[in-house]
Amino acid sequence: MNPESPGKPRRRPRYSGNHPRRFAEKYKELNASRYPETVAQVLAAGKTPAGMHRPICLAEILELFQLKPGMTVADATLGYGGHARAMLECIQPGGLLVGLDTDPLELPKTEARLRAAGIAAEALRVHHSNFAALPRILATEGLEGVDCILADLGCSSMQLDNPERGFSFKHDGPLDLRMNPRKGLPATEWLGKQDQDGLARMLAENADEPRAEAIAAQIIAQQSREPLATTRGLAEVVREALSAVGKFSEAEQKATLQRVFQAVRIAVNDEFSALETFLRFLPSCLKPGGCVAVLTFHSGEDRRVKKFFQASRQNGLYEAIADEPIRPKAAEIQSNPRAASAKLRWARRSLDG
C-alpha cells in the first residue's frame, strides 16, 4: 500500500541528522514532553527550541512585582506563558491572572499547556484580545484594577520560527507577518498599497533604518514588476538595495533585514497605535500602588513607553518610574541571544492618583 494512501496516517517528516534545518523536521523539539533530552541539548547550546519561547528578564520582573498569594495580575501578552506560569506560582493560593493574546493559533496551545501544569480555572482567565483592550477585559472579569501588569512587546519565538507565519527571513515562507492571521492584510497585500515616499517614512519611523529611501525605492521597483509574495523575496530585494549603495558585511546585511522585517510587521499589525492606546489607559487598570512592567525590543517602542511614563508621573498618575531601562544580564543574553535587544521599563501607580 502507498504510505500516503487514505488507508494509513500521513508519515511525519523525517528527522534528518542531528541538526535538522527545516521547521517541520524539528518534531523532537516541538514535542518537549516526549523528547526532553533533545530540548535540553538545544537549550544548553544557547538556542531556543522550535515552538518554544523563553521568558526574558523573568527574575527582574518578579523582583519588581513582589508578588504574594491572593494578588491579581494581568499578562497583557500571554505568548508562550513562561512569565504567566512563574507569576501564577507566586500568587497562589487565591490569586488570579488574566491573560490576553492576539494570536488565535498560539493562545489555545498556551492555555492547554498552563492547564496541564495544574493551573485551575479560577486562577487563570484567558482572552483572545489585543492588549489595547485591557480595560474592557478587566471590566468583563469584574475587576476595577489589578496589582501588577506585564506587557512583553516582542514577537514570540513560536511565530519567528514557523515559516508559515512569515515573520522571519531565515526560512522562506509566505510574506504575512500578522500577529492574528485571521485579521487585517498580510504584508504582501499591505506592501502593494504603499508608495515610495510613504514606505521610506515607515522604514525610518518604525525601524530607524538609515537606508530607508534606497530600500523603499528597490521594493517599489520590484512591486511594479511582480508583487512580493515570500519572505525570501523581500530579503533578496533588501540585499539588492544594499549592494546598490555600498559594500556591507553579512552582519550589517542581517541587521538591516531584521530592521526591515520588524518595521513591516509593526505597520501590518498597527502596533504603535495599539501600544499608545494601551499606555493611555494603563493607569486606570492598576490598583493604587500597583506596578506595570513593559518589555520592549525596539527603540520606537521604548521611546513611547518612556514618554508616556514620564508624562503620567508629571500628571501625578505614577509615583515612580524607571529612570533608565533594565537590561538583561550577560548570562541571560549568552543563554538566550534573543534577549539582547530587550529593555524593561516599569512604573508604579500613585496611591492617590
Residue position matching grid coordinates 548570562: 331
Write down the pLDDT at residue 255: 94
If we measure between CA atoms, which residue out of 30, 313, 270, 287 comes closest to residue 147? 287
Angle at which helix 196-207 crosses helix 212-225, to 10 degrees, equals 140
Write down the pLDDT at residue 1: 44
With b for 16 or more beta-carbon neighbours within 10 A and e for fewer, the 259-271 pattern comes to bbbbbbbbbbbeb
**Domain ranges across the chain:** 1-52, 58-157+272-349, 181-268
Query: Rounded to 5 degrees, what are φ and ψ at 179?
Result: -65, -40
Query: Rounded to 5 degrees, what are φ and ψ at 320?
Result: -155, 145
Rounded Cα distance, 37 and 22, in Å: 20
Side chain identity, residue 266? I
Write down the pLDDT at residue 212: 97
- How many angstroms from the chain centroid is the CA of residue 192? 25
Intervals of the chain under pLDDT 70: 1-53, 157-158, 353
Query: Rounded to 5 degrees, what are φ and ψ at 101?
Result: -160, 145
SS in 3 state form for the chain?
CCCCCCCCCCCCCCCCCCCCCCHHHCHHHHCCCCCHHHHHHHHHCCCCCCCCCCCCCHHHHHHHHCCCCCCEEEECCCCCCHHHHHHHHHHCCCCEEEEEECCCCCHHHHHHHHHHCCCCCCCEEEEECCHHHHHHHHHHCCCCCEEEEEEECCCCHHHHHCHHHCCCCCCCCECCCCCCCCCCCCHHHHHHCCCHHHHHHHHHHHHCCCCHHHHHHHHHHHHHHCCCCEHHHHHHHHHHHHHHHCCCCHHHHHHHHHHHHHHHHHHHCCHHHHHHHHHHHHHHHEEEEEEEEEEECCHHHHHHHHHHHHHHHHCCCEEEECCCCECCCHHHHHHCHHHCCCEEEEEEECCCC
Write down the pLDDT at residue 97: 98
Domains 58-157+272-349 and 181-268 share a fold: no
- 222 within 8 A of 228, measured Cβ to Cβ: yes
* CATH superfamily placement of domain 181-268: Putative methyltransferase TM0872, insert domain (1.10.150.170)
Does domain 58-157+272-349 fall into CATH 3.40.50.150?
Answer: yes
Residues 6+ apart with CB under 8 A from 57: 295, 326, 328, 332, 339, 342, 344
